[in-house]
Chains A and B, each alone.
Chain A
Amino acid sequence: MIKISGISKKFKLYNKPIDRLKEIILRKKYHHIYNALHDISFEVKDGETLGILGVNGAGKSTLLKIISGVLIPDSGSLSIDGKITGLLELGTGFNKDLTGLQNIVGNGLLIGMSTEEIDQQRDNIIDFSELGEFIKEPLRTYSSGMVMRLAFSIAMHAKPDCFLIDEALSVGDAHFQQKCMRHIKTFKQQGGSLIFVSHDLNAVKMICDHAIVLDKGHIVAKGSPEYAVNHYNRIMAQLDDQDKRITATENQTNNQDYGNHKAKIINAVISGVDSESNIVSSGEKIDIQIEIMPYEMLTDMSIGILIRDRFGQDIYGTNSEHLMQTSVFEKEQPYIATFSFVAAINPGKYTVTIALHSQNTHIEDCYHWVDNIIGFEVAGFKGTQFVGVCDLNASLIVNNALNNSYGVFNK
C-alpha cells in the first residue's frame, strides 16, 4: 500500500552554478522557484493499480522520484508498506564489459534484492529474458533490445511490494511486452500495488483501476481511467489547439491540395463526443465538421471524407452521393457539413482526407481535395475490445451440442 498525503516539491533554479555560491555567501536571493508538485495526495491499496497521466513537465517523474526515495519532498508525508522497486531504474549500473550473469547480480543488488533472492531468482530471470547462451557473454555483444530484456527480467523478479512503472514498458517487441503485461497482472493478483505512468492511454485503460491527471504539478482529475484519459485528452487539445485541431488554411502548404477551386474547404475540425478532442476511444462517436465556401452555384457537389491509417491504407471513405445527401450550394454562401460516425476502429493514429467534387467521383470535376487535412488518434476502448483493423460487431452464441436441436452432433 502506498499512501501519499499533501506532497509538495519546489525546485530552485539558478541561471549559473556560481549563483548558488553567491546566495550562500551574500545571503541574497539568486534563484527563482519552480513548483514541480503542489499538494499531491492519493492512495494505492494492495492489489490496486494507479495510472498517472500528464503532459511532459507535469511533474510525473518528480512524483515517481519522490515515491522511490530519490528526491525528498518539501512537505507532506508518504508511507509505503514494504519494498518498492521502480522500472524507472531499468538497467541501472549495467556494466557492458561484464556478462549478463554478472550484471544480474549488480543490477539486482542496486534495485534492492538481497544476495539470496538473486540466487533464488537467477534461473527465472534467465528464462524470462530469453537470452539463452548469451547470458554468459559480455553485455557489449548484446543488441539494445536484449539489454532491455535483461533489465526488465531482473526488475520483474525483484519481488517488490510496490512497483513503479515509468513509460519503460513501451520498449521491447510485442511478444515480450505481452509477457511483461502478464507478469504485471499476476503481480497485481498477488496483492502488489502498482503505479503506472504512461502516455500509452490504451495501456492505462487496460491495467489501471484508478488514474490521476497531473497538470503543472496539480492533480486536476482523479477517478476511473476512462474519466482521467478523457480529461487528459482535453488538456492535450487545449495545449496545442492550433496544431492538433489542424485547420485547412494553415495546412494547405503542407498537404496535397488541388482542384479547380470552384468551391473550397475553409476549415475542418474533428472531435470526439466524449473526449472533446481529437484523441478518442475506440467505439466513441466522432464528429467531423467541414466549412465549405462555394464560389459558384453548384448543383452536383459531393462532399467526401477518407480515413487512412498510419500506413496510408484507406480504412473508410464515404461521400454525400453514397449517403444520398446531395444538395444545392448557393454561390458564396458558407456551409457547414458534419459527418458523424462511431470510431469502431482499432487504437492508432489516423488521418482524414476531405474532398469536394462533382458527381460521385473526383475524377470528372474536382473542386477541392486536401490530403490528410486533419489527424486523430484512437486510444483505448470504450465498450467491447477486438483485434484487427475494425470492429465488425460480432455476436456469439454457444450451445451445448448434445442437449439441443441446433448442434451438428445431434443423434
Chain B
Amino acid sequence: MKNSLIMYLVKQDLIDSYSGSILGGLWSFIIPLVNITVFIVIFSKIMGAKLNVLGVDFQEYSYSIYLVSGVLAWNYFSNTLVRITNIFNEKAGLITKVNTNLLVLPLYIIISESVIFFISMSFFLLFLLIIGFPVTKYWMVLIIIYFLQSIFAYGLGLFLATLSVFIKDISEFTRVIVQLWFWFTPLVYVMDILPEKYKIIFELNPMYHIVNAYRDVIVRSQLPDMYSLSLFFIFSMFLFLCAVYFFRKLEKDIRDFI
C-alpha cells in the first residue's frame, strides 16, 4: 500500500468528509478549538479557585491547565483506539475489493487523529503563551511521549480490530470500556484525593503514566518519570508484537469473514 493512498485517506477523513459544507475542512479546526475554549472558560470560572492541586498556582487557570493537558492526550488516545477497533468493518468495502495491506491501513487513523491532536495542542500552547504560563524546553519530550502513546493505541487497537471482525460486539464494548477508562484515569480529578491503598491499582493503568508524563512536562515543567515511561515502552512493544502475531495468524480468516 502506497503512502499516497494513506495520505489520501487522511485527507478524505479530515477535509473531504466536510465537503459540501461552506467551511469545509475548517471544521476539523473548529471542533478542537471549541473543546479547549469550553474547558478553559467553564472550568476556570466555576472551579478555578477551588482547586490548588498542581504544585504550581496559576491564578484561576490552574485547574483548566491541569484538565486540558490530560484530556487532549486522552482524546487522541481514545478516538484512535475506538476507530482502529472498528477499522476492518468500516473499510470492508475497500478490503473486499482492493488488495490492501491491513497492517498499514490503521495508520491513516493515527495520522488523521494526530493532526487533530496537533491542532488542539497548538491552540493550547497559544493559550499558555497568552496567559504567560512557562513553556520550557521539556516540551520537546512530548514527541517521545506521543510516539509511545501511538504505539500503545495501535497495538491495542489492532488486537481489538482483529477480534471485532469475528465478534461484532467488540466495537461497542470498546466504546463502553473507553468511557469507564476515562474515569479510572486521573483526568478530571487528582490522584491525591484517592485513598493510599487504591493508588497502586491506578498505577497499573498504562494511560495514567502517559497522562502523568504530559503533565510533568506541561504543568510541572519538568522531565517525566523515565522509569515508568521505559516500562510503558516495553509493555507497548510487547502488546504491539502480540497484536501483529495474533493478526497474522488470523489474517486469512479476517479476509474471508469480512
In the assembled complex, the Cα of A115 lies from the Cα of B252 at a distance in Å of: 30
- State whether A89 touches B97 (Cβ < 8 A): yes
Q: Which of A70, A97, A115 contacts B20 (CB 8 A)?
A: A97
In the assembled complex, the Cα of A89 lies from the Cα of B95 at a distance in Å of: 10
In the assembled complex, the Cα of A65 lies from the Cα of B256 at a distance in Å of: 10
**In the complex, B96 has a CB within 8 A of chain A:** yes
In the assembled complex, the Cα of A160 lies from the Cα of B19 at a distance in Å of: 31
By a CB distance below 8 angstroms, the chain B residues around A109 are: 2, 4-5, 8
- State whether A20 touches B256 (Cβ < 8 A): no
By a CB distance below 8 angstroms, the chain A residues around B256 are: 11-12, 71
- State whether A70 touches B5 (Cβ < 8 A): no
In the assembled complex, the Cα of A141 lies from the Cα of B142 at a distance in Å of: 47
Given known contacts A71-B256, A89-B97, A114 and B8 CB-to-CB distance under 8 angstroms: no
**In the complex, A315 has a CB within 8 A of chain B:** no
A80-115 at interface with B (beta carbon < 8 Å) = 86, 88-89, 92-93, 95, 97-98, 102, 105-106, 109-112, 114-115
- State whether A89 touches B16 (Cβ < 8 A): no
By a CB distance below 8 angstroms, the chain B residues around A110 are: 5, 94, 98
- State whether A97 touches B16 (Cβ < 8 A): yes
Q: How far is the CB of A106 from chain B (nearest CB, A)?
A: 6
Given known contacts A17-B167, A17-B168, A72 and B255 CB-to-CB distance under 8 angstroms: yes
- State whether B4 touches A115 (Cβ < 8 A): yes
**In the complex, B60 has a CB within 8 A of chain A:** no
By beta carbon, the residue of chain A nearest B166 is A20
Q: Which of B2, B19, B166, B168 contacts A97 (CB 8 A)?
A: B19
**In the complex, A191 has a CB within 8 A of chain B:** no
In the assembled complex, the Cα of A70 lies from the Cα of B91 at a distance in Å of: 13
In the assembled complex, the Cα of A74 lies from the Cα of B5 at a distance in Å of: 29
- State whether B2 touches A70 (Cβ < 8 A): no
- State whether A98 touches B166 (Cβ < 8 A): no
By a CB distance below 8 angstroms, the chain A residues around B8 are: 105-106, 109
By beta carbon, the residue of chain B nearest A110 is B98
Contact string against A for B residues 231-258, beta-carbon threshold 8 Å, 1 for contact and 0 otherwise: 0000000000000000000011101100
Q: How far is the CB of B19 from chain A (nearest CB, A)?
A: 5
Given known contacts A12-B256, A72-B252, A72-B255, A95 and B12 CB-to-CB distance under 8 angstroms: yes
**In the complex, A172 has a CB within 8 A of chain B:** no
Interface residues of B, dominant DSSP: helix
- State whether B97 touches A70 (Cβ < 8 A): yes
**In the complex, B99 has a CB within 8 A of chain A:** yes
In the assembled complex, the Cα of A377 lies from the Cα of B2 at a distance in Å of: 47
By beta carbon, the residue of chain A nearest B254 is A72
Q: Which of B99, B251, B253 contacts A68 (CB 8 A)?
A: B99
By a CB distance below 8 angstroms, the chain A residues around B168 are: 17
In the assembled complex, the Cα of A111 lies from the Cα of B2 at a distance in Å of: 11
B18-44 at interface with A (beta carbon < 8 Å) = 19-20
**In the complex, B132 has a CB within 8 A of chain A:** no
**In the complex, B55 has a CB within 8 A of chain A:** no
Q: Which of B4, B16, B253, B255 contacts A70 (CB 8 A)?
A: B255
By beta carbon, the residue of chain A nearest B93 is A92
**In the complex, A21 has a CB within 8 A of chain B:** yes
In the assembled complex, the Cα of A71 lies from the Cα of B2 at a distance in Å of: 19
A1-47 at interface with B (beta carbon < 8 Å) = 11-12, 17-18, 20-21, 24
By a CB distance below 8 angstroms, the chain B residues around A105 are: 8
Q: Which of A12, A65, A106, A114 contacts B2 (CB 8 A)?
A: A114
- State whether B94 touches A92 (Cβ < 8 A): yes
Chain A positions within 8 Å of B, measured between CB atoms, are 11-12, 17-18, 20-21, 24, 65, 68-72, 74, 86, 88-89, 92-93, 95, 97-98, 102, 105-106, 109-112, 114-115, 138
* 22 pairs of residues in contact across A and B, judged by CB atoms under 8 Å: A12-B253, A17-B166, A17-B167, A20-B166, A21-B166, A21-B167, A68-B98, A70-B97, A70-B255, A72-B251, A86-B97, A89-B98, A92-B98, A95-B12, A95-B19, A97-B16, A97-B19, A98-B19, A109-B5, A110-B5, A110-B94, A112-B2
4 closest A-B pairs by beta carbon, nearest first, are: A69-B99, A89-B97, A72-B252, A109-B5
Other 13 A-B pairs with CB < 8 A, given A72-B252, A95-B19: A69-B99, A70-B255, A72-B251, A92-B94, A93-B93, A98-B19, A102-B16, A109-B8, A111-B98, A112-B98, A112-B99, A114-B2, A138-B19
